[in-house]
Amino acid sequence: MRNKFLVISSFLLITIASHAETIQFKSGDTVEGKIVEQTNEFIKVDLGVGVGITYYLDDIESIKKSIVPKVSAGTLFKKKVAQGQQRYFSQEPKESRVDTVPQSQNQPKKRVRKKNPKRGVKITAPTIKDGMEKLNSNSGKVTMPKPYKETVAYKKNVPLAKKAGLNYNSVLNKRYAKSYKNNQFFFLFYNYVEAPRCKKEYVIQKVKVTKVDYNQAGQIKSNDITYLVEVLKLNKFKKTKRADEHIKRYALLNAAKRETFVEAEVGCGQIPGVIVGQNWPYGSKKLYNKLQGYSSDPGFYDKVEFSSSSEYDFGFSFDDKGRSRVDLPYFISK
Q: pLDDT per residue over 158-196, tens digit each?
A: 999 999 999 999 999 999 999 999 899 999 999 999 999
Distance CA 156, CA 175 (A): 18
Tens-digit pLDDT profile for residues 265-313: 999 999 999 999 999 999 888 888 999 999 999 999 999 999 999 999 9
Judged by average pLDDT, the poorest of 33-47, 197-211, 299-313 is 33-47
Predicted pLDDT of residue 184: 93
Confidence of residue 208 (pLDDT cuts 50, 70, 90): very high
Predicted pLDDT of residue 23: 84
Res. 119: pLDDT tops 70: no
Confidence of residue 81 (pLDDT cuts 50, 70, 90): very low
Higher pLDDT, residue 303 or 115 = 303
Res. 138: pLDDT tops 60: no
Class of the 2-79 domain? mainly beta
Q: Range(s) for CATH 2.30.30.520 in the chain?
A: 2-79
Residue ranges with strand state E in the chain = 19-25, 30-38, 42-46, 52-56, 60-67, 78-82, 85-89, 97-99, 122-124, 135-136, 142-143, 176-181, 184-194, 202-214, 220-233, 244-251, 257-270, 288-295, 305-319, 324-327
Predicted pLDDT of residue 108: 33
What is the distance in angstroms between the CA of the first residue and the CA of the last residue of the chain?
A: 36
Judged by average pLDDT, the poorest of 133-147, 192-206, 244-258 is 133-147
Winning range, highest mean pLDDT, from 13-17, 60-64, 69-73, 178-182: 178-182
Predicted pLDDT of residue 153: 86
Task: Report DSSP letters for 53-92, one per residue.
Answer: EEEEGGGEEEEEEEE-S---TT--SEEEEETTEEEEE-PP
Winning range, highest mean pLDDT, from 34-38, 40-44, 97-101, 254-258: 254-258
Predicted pLDDT of residue 66: 59
Predicted pLDDT of residue 55: 80
Confidence of residue 247 (pLDDT cuts 50, 70, 90): very high
Nearest to 334 by CA among 94, 173, 91: 94
On average, the pLDDT of the chain sits at 77
Judged by average pLDDT, the poorest of 6-20, 220-234, 313-327 is 6-20
What are φ and ψ of residue 226, in 5° steps?
-130, 160
Predicted pLDDT of residue 135: 61
Q: Are 173 and 166 in contact (CB under 8 A)?
A: no
Predicted pLDDT of residue 311: 94
Work out the percent of the chain whose per-residue pLDDT is above 90.
49
Work out the percent of the chain whose per-residue pLDDT is above 70.
73
Predicted pLDDT of residue 91: 35
Mean pLDDT calculated for residue range 58-68: 73
Judged by average pLDDT, the poorest of 43-52, 103-112, 192-201 is 103-112
CA torsion through residues 60, 65, 70, 73, sign: positive
Higher pLDDT, residue 41 or 320 = 320
Res. 150: pLDDT tops 90: no
Mean pLDDT calculated for residue range 70-92: 33
Predicted pLDDT of residue 12: 40
